[in-house]
Each structure stands twice: as C-alpha cells, then as structure tokens.
Amino acid sequence: MTGPARQEVMIAPSRRMLAGLILALSNFMVVLDLTIANVSVPHIAGNLGISLDQGTWIITSYAVAEAICVPLTGWLVQRFGAVRIYVLSMIGFGFFSFLCGSSMTLTMLVACRIGQGVCGAPLMPVSQALLMRVFPPEKRPMAMGIWAMTTLLGPALGPIIGGAISDGMSWHWIFFINIPVAAFCAVMGFFILREVETGTRKLPIDFIGLGLLVFWIGCLQIMLDIGRDHDWFADPKIVALAICAVLGFLVFVIWELTEEHPVVDLRIFANRGFTASVLTLALSFGSFFASIVLIPQWLQSSMGYTATQAGLVTAFTAMAAITTSQLAAKMLSWADPRLMISLGVIWLGCMTLVRALWTTEADFWTLALPHILQGFAMSFFIIPLTTVSLSVVRAEEVPSAAGLQNFLRTMAIAVSTSLVLTIWGDAQRVARSELAGRIQPDEAMRGLSGMGMTPEQGRQVISDIVEQQAVMVAVDYTFWVTACVLFLAAALVWLSPRPKGMPGMGAGGH
C-alpha cells in the first residue's frame, strides 16, 4: 500500500546543503559520544579510583538513557515541533557535556551521562526526519547517505579522538569538546531550520507505557552490567532482575498495542519490510560495536598499546567507509537494497573471522588490515538499511519509525557492550584453566632458572604468559561468536520484500 506523498518544504537550494551538514554534524556528535569514552575508561577508572568493570557503566548508562528516550521522539515532535525539539536537545546536550567533564565522582559522571543520553536521544531521529523534509525526493538518498556516514564515522572515530585527548590532555576534555559543537548546531539550526518547522497538536502522554519502558530496560541493563560479577543466575538477585525484565517487557507490549496514544508505536512492526530492516540493523550494528568496545580494552590491558594507538586501529574502518559512501547511495537507485545489505554484512562477518585468527604476535598493521577492508563494505549495509527502513512506512509514521530504528540500534549497542565483555571474561577463565592444565611447570622453571631467574621471577613469567595467551584465546572466541551473529543478520534481511519505488520516496508497503 502506498502512503501519501511527503509534505514538500520550500527551502533555498543554497541553504539546503548547509542544513544537511548541520543535521549530520549533530548526529555525528551524539553517536561519537557512544564510543569516545571507550578507550578512556582506563584513564577515568584510574583517576576516579574505580574498577574497569565499573568504568563500563559510563558507556552503558549513556546508551541506555538514549534507548529509553528515543521512542519518545514521535510524541515530542508532534507536541512541540521538530525544530524546537532539535534546538532544545542540542542545548541540553551541551549543558550535560559540561557537567560530565566537570565530574569528580563516578556517581556524578554516570548521572550526567544519563542526562547526555536523554538530551541526545531525540537528535538522531529528529535529524533524520528533518533531512527528509529539507531535501526533495530525488536528493533524499544522497542526504541520508551523508547522515548514515555520520552513524559510521562517530563510533569508529570515537576511540581515536578519545584516546588522543586522554593521552595528550585529560579525559575531562572528551566531554568539553562537545560544548562549541552543540552551541554552533543549536544557533545555526534555529536560524536555518525555522522555515521547515513541523506542525504541532496536543497529545496525551502515555505515562504508564513510559514507566514500563524504563522498568524493563532498566532491569535488563542492570542484569547485564552486574551479572558477570554475581555468577549470573546462581545469584537470586540476577534471577529476580531477569524475571522482572521479561514480565515488564510482556506487559509493556500488551499495553502499547492496546493504548490509543502509545509512547512507542509498536504497530509499525506490522510492516514486514520495516521489521526485517531494523532487526538486521540492530544485530549488525551491535556486532560491529562489540569490536569497538573489545579491541581497545584488549590492546591497552594486554598488548601494551596506548589509548591513542588502540583507537587508531579501529579508526581505519571509518576512513575506508568514506570512499564508498557515495557509490552506495547512488546504487540505491537501481540495485536491490537487500542484496547490497546482505553482501555488506557477509563481508563484515568475513573480516570478523579474520580477527578470530589473531595471535599475540600480531603487529599494528595485522590488526589494522581487517578494519581497513571492513570499512569498504560498511556503506553498503548501513546506508541502504537506514534509508529503506524509513522508505517503506507511511509519511505520518516516519518520526515514530525513525525513533524505533534508533531505539533498536542504541539498545543493540548497550546490550552488545555488556554481552561482549561477559563473553570475553568467561572465555578468559575457561582458557586460563585449560592452559594451566597443559603447561609443564617443572620443565619451564628449569629453563627459566637456566636464564638466571629466581623461582619467584620464573613463576611470575609463567603466570604472565598464561594470562596473555588466555586473553588472546578469549578475544578470538568472542570474534567467532560475533561473526555468527553477522551471518544470521545477512540472512534475516531477505525476510523483507523488495521495496517499491525509489528509496526515500516514501513508498509505504505493508
């Protein structure tokens, strides 16, 4: 079924590109903050006197706050207008960035990161919706291509920017750098985007649905964050959190499907093309993000890399992705987007399998090469997915669809962060036990004694070797798991029917 044509907005072509760049820049800043703290966690942990596990709360608190608030975008836009929400969100994001940079305790930092996430949440879907209003139908694939590239560039460049700042200045500045960007986007957005403001109408807010959303997501994320420290389901607390998360989710779904004005419009999932697209996006982006979390921590804790060097390894993905972004956008006019997505995700899975063959002898370029090659395929899955998933819904559903798309993507990031660290940690314990059982300490100690080492020094050397190899085996195992998820995502996209019409035109197929 084809939905009504999108409302055309008259805006001068000379200002159109500037508006697009401002919207893309704001989205870049929000997704950058998902990963800019990744390589800085050891710096922050050392400065605040906390463990590395506690330091990951800085990543997950931001992602979870975003995920909870992103679905509210549709209601906020209809109630207050897209441009007003955009400007106010930019101001709030800059304010909480200042507070994050000024934090002196973990509690304050996590609280301010939640504030950052709450304000940043509407910026992703609102910037998408405004791009669709600013650009005419024939220019939308190009505009969404630019926007989608910021979704790739932010997470990929975050580690190297965060690493360089943390090594050269102070971790506080990874948050302070947001302030001038937020101020620029808020001011320019107010003056340039005013003429494309959306209409408003008073709508009731679904407080019960919002409460249920906060409840089940909060239970799920707390369970994932603390589960590995509490022996998972051997601890009654984790069992209770799991039960609450499942029951809360089920009640939330039932309530939202029967509510006249739901906080999350789950009825959009009746559109098979949208559902297959966003689930593929969530699985693929979660797997991609898992490597961005895992690799910097492994390189700094086990391989002796600095934060800057660790960030640079993952940054090559973004650099390579830029070279193919416009080609991918142009191909959307004639190629089957499902084939583009499937091949792109399969290529990501193959590069993940290459990482699963790494050893402790791997040099910098051995580590960087899979990221370079992976980058060439990133545009061929992220651009079609973000464009097609919005093209198959009706015009009036775009704000809610964009909110759901970003909700699932952001939840995938939060969940994958917790899961990948859990899988890595569990695999380390198993590998350490197996390696310790295979080593022959007496023979090794004799060899080390012959090199002039004392028994204490020899035992420490053996322990260090076992630990480093156990960590390496665990890293390889984790990549095997994420590769399987990527191959599943590559197949899942074929559940979607081929979109009718040009991407970005608003053909709504149900």
Q: What is the pLDDT of residues 76-120, one digit of tens each?
A: 888 888 889 999 999 999 999 999 988 888 888 889 999 998 898
DSSP annotation string for 451-486? TT--HHHHHHHHHHHHHHHHHHHHHHHHHHHHHHHH
* Residue 312 counted as domain residue: yes
SS (H, E, C) 239-287: HHHHHHHHHHHHHHHHHHHHCCCCCCCHHHHHCHHHHHHHHHHHHHHHH
Number of folded domains in the chain?
Answer: 2
Q: Do 224 and 107 lie in a common domain?
A: no
Q: Which residues of the chain have pLDDT under 50?
A: 1-7, 502-510
Residue 73 confidence (pLDDT): 78
The answer to whether the beta carbons of residues 251 and 212 sit under 8 Å apart is: yes
Q: Do 159 and 242 lie in a common domain?
A: no
Other CB atoms within 10 Å distance of the CB of residue 335? 13
Q: Do 413 and 491 lie in a common domain?
A: yes
The answer to whether the beta carbons of residues 107 and 467 sit under 8 Å apart is: no
* Residue 221 counted as domain residue: yes
Continuous H helices in 332-397 = 337-355, 364-391
Q: Do 231 and 268 lie in a common domain?
A: no
d(CA 50, CA 45): 5
CATH code, 312: 1.20.1250.20
* Residue 501 counted as domain residue: no
Residue 189 confidence (pLDDT): 85
* Residue 50 counted as domain residue: yes
Q: Do 229 and 179 lie in a common domain?
A: no
The answer to whether the beta carbons of residues 206 and 262 sit under 8 Å apart is: yes
Other CB atoms within 10 Å distance of the CB of residue 134? 23
Q: Which domain holds residue 241?
A: 206-262
* Residue 308 counted as domain residue: yes
The answer to whether the beta carbons of residues 418 and 238 sit under 8 Å apart is: no
Phi, psi (deg, nearest 5) at residue 384 = -60, -40
- H/E segment holding residue 428: helix 398-438
Residue with tokens 């929000």: 30
Q: Do 307 and 369 lie in a common domain?
A: yes
Q: Do 233 and 297 lie in a common domain?
A: no
Q: Tokens standing for 508?
A: 């709504």
Q: Tokens standing for 315?
A: 């940054």
The answer to whether the beta carbons of residues 64 and 217 sit under 8 Å apart is: yes
d(CA 510, CA 508): 7
Q: pTM to 2 decimals?
A: 0.75
Among 262, 289, 307, where does a domain finish? 262
Residue 414: which residues within 8 A CB-CB, separation 6 or more? Answer: 60, 63, 64, 67, 221, 224
pLDDT in tens, 20-39: 888 888 888 887 887 777 77
Q: Do 210 and 193 lie in a common domain?
A: no
Q: Do 215 and 347 lie in a common domain?
A: no
Q: Tokens standing for 352?
A: 């993940």
- H/E segment holding residue 451: none
d(CA 53, CA 396): 43
- H/E segment holding residue 448: helix 441-450
Residue 392 confidence (pLDDT): 74
Closest to 129 measured CA to CA, from 185, 78, 59, 163: 78
d(CA 277, CA 1): 18
* Residue 20 counted as domain residue: yes
Residue 309 confidence (pLDDT): 82
Length of the chain: 510
Q: Do 355 and 267 lie in a common domain?
A: yes
Among 214, 231, 262, where does a domain finish? 262
Residue 9 confidence (pLDDT): 52
d(CA 262, CA 241): 25
Q: Do 282 and 406 lie in a common domain?
A: yes
Q: Tokens standing for 81?
A: 């207008």
Residue 5 confidence (pLDDT): 37
Residue 500: which residues within 8 A CB-CB, separation 6 or more? Answer: 2, 507, 509
Phi, psi (deg, nearest 5) at residue 408 = -65, -40
Among 262, 281, 303, where does a domain finish? 262
Residue 1 confidence (pLDDT): 34
* Residue 395 counted as domain residue: yes
Q: Do 356 and 491 lie in a common domain?
A: yes
Residue 486 confidence (pLDDT): 93
Residue 328 confidence (pLDDT): 80
Residue 487 confidence (pLDDT): 94
* Residue 232 counted as domain residue: yes
